Amino acid sequence: MRRIVALLALLGAALIPLPAHAASTLTNTGFETVNLGGWSSTGSAAFREAGGHAGSYRLSHWTSSAYTVETYQTLTGLANGTYTLRAWVRAGAASQSWVSLKNCGGQERRTYVPVSGNWLRIAVTQTVTNTQCTVSLNTSAAAGGWANFDDVSFATGSATLSIKGADVSSLPKSEAFGGRYFTAAGVRGDALTILRDNGVNYARLKVWVNPADGYNNKARVLAMASRAKALGLGLLIDFHYSDSWADPGKQYKPAAWTSLSFAQLRTAVYNHTFDVLNALKAQGTTADMVQVGNEINDGMLWEDGRSSRFAQLAQLIRSGYDAVKAVSSSTKVVLHLANGGDNGLYRWWFDSAAANGVLYDVIGVSYYPYWHGTFAAFQTNIDDIATRYGKPVLLAETAYPFTPGTDDAFGNMVSSATPVTGYPSSTAGQSAMLRDIMSLVQSIPNGRGLGVVYWEPTWTAVTGNGWDPTNPSSGNEWENQALFDFNDRALPALTQFTHQ
């Protein structure tokens, strides 16, 4: 049926030429007009087809042989300024598609279409300096590769990411045990500098209370904060309120806090948070953002602070919040959950937070695409929570493999050759995945897509720097998701931070 519709559309296109459009507003943005009225196309692979995102029709790019096609409108008489193109899109794995703004007085700006059978919204922002701009929808595909576009808009405003971060919590221990880092060209350098030079502008550092290995404690965090701030990086401090890992499956109290009453526990949270942040401020490295808890789907400081005891959890969060603001009123407080594609979880949790008077500034999300649902589920959730709660959203953790292989004797946490359809465990697959996840955050309505933090890009396989702070011989399950390869060179995915 697709091929019959395509052939009919192409025959119609051959009989009626597609005029170039010259006006200050887009026309036929939903492709409801026959013969793609208002749009021009190169080649013969563009046609109108039933099955739109919102209306009855969509723009499709497809032929039975390899092709390249552009469908476009040129707008003129524009007031110079910042504009954003938004479009609903979907595409198969055999095509590379993108939307772009070009001929606007500066370099072309693109956002690529993620591989997805579901409709997704993407956006690209451009500054117009010559009173005109071309809205361009493109596909370059192998035989049978397809892409769909619909509900295109072009309006003033911006959709960009202000935070492009990296969690580098494991870096000091890696360096202490001999970890080395190189640019893509093979020049050895400081890992933070390499990250910064590739567009990273924020460092995320986790804090444990009394870790067995002496890393991720107050002293180590202070030292790393000094390095980060000296490079001009913003600083996100992530309090786990534990001596080791805190996540949805474990939120254990620090050993020194286990016998405290609930009132004493609230005081301990305040004092610990204030102590670390005040020390950062005293050395001239005030935190820009702070997570009060890490992936607190089921609360923190079990059993007192489980989500089933939300009134108590709210009090613990308030202790952390008050400590943050006592040190620096401008520091933003983040509340962070995992399972970024689970809208039911987020609605329940943040509705409960509202009912219990919880204060915060930013919603933090973890989204690992091989664990946390489809792109569509992720976009539905982040769009909804940004609107429902009126807060900016930070993707606080994400990552993807560049190989299914391993660089040590310890197995990988993710070892599939293709963890997500269309995104192989390869350097190209990792780069495309990071690019496309960033584009979904960028497109959150009303500019509420704050940014993206890549989790542990420098955690390469270094003997002694394993998962377990109590076991020096423990291995690392993460090295195939770092942004440095097994020869310690920066990977192509790292350059995606410069493109957003």
CB 86 within 8 A of CB 443: yes
Q: Which of 49, 70, 295, 477 is catalytic?
A: 295
- Find how far residue 121's CA is from the centre of its chain: 15
Structure-token pair, residue 183: 């640019």
Burial of 79 (0-12, 13-18, 19+ CB in 10 A): exposed
Q: 252: which residues sit within 8 A by CB, 6+ positions away?
A: 242, 243, 244, 246, 302
Count of Cβ atoms closer than 10 Å to residue 278 Cβ? 14
Helix (H) or strand (E) holding 365: strand 362-366
Q: Where are the beta strands (DSSP E) in 157-209?
A: 163-167, 202-207
- Find how far residue 167's CA is from the centre of its chain: 13
Sign of CA dihedral 76, 81, 86, 91: positive
477 is known as an active-site residue: no
Sign of CA dihedral 230, 240, 161, 175: positive
For 41, half-sphere exposure in the C-beta direction (CA atoms, 13 angstrom radius) is: 27
Count of Cβ atoms closer than 10 Å to residue 201 Cβ? 18
Q: Which of 70, 397, 456, 479 is catalytic?
A: 397
CB 96 within 8 A of CB 112: yes
32 is known as an active-site residue: no
Please identify which residue in the block is written with the tokens 């500098």.
193
Q: For Cα atoms 284, 285, 289, give the angle at the middle one, nearest 5 degrees.
A: 140
Count of Cβ atoms closer than 10 Å to residue 219 Cβ? 10
Give me the count of residues in the chain: 500
Q: Where are the beta strands (DSSP E) in 157-259?
A: 163-167, 202-207, 234-239
Q: Which residues are catalytic?
A: 295, 397
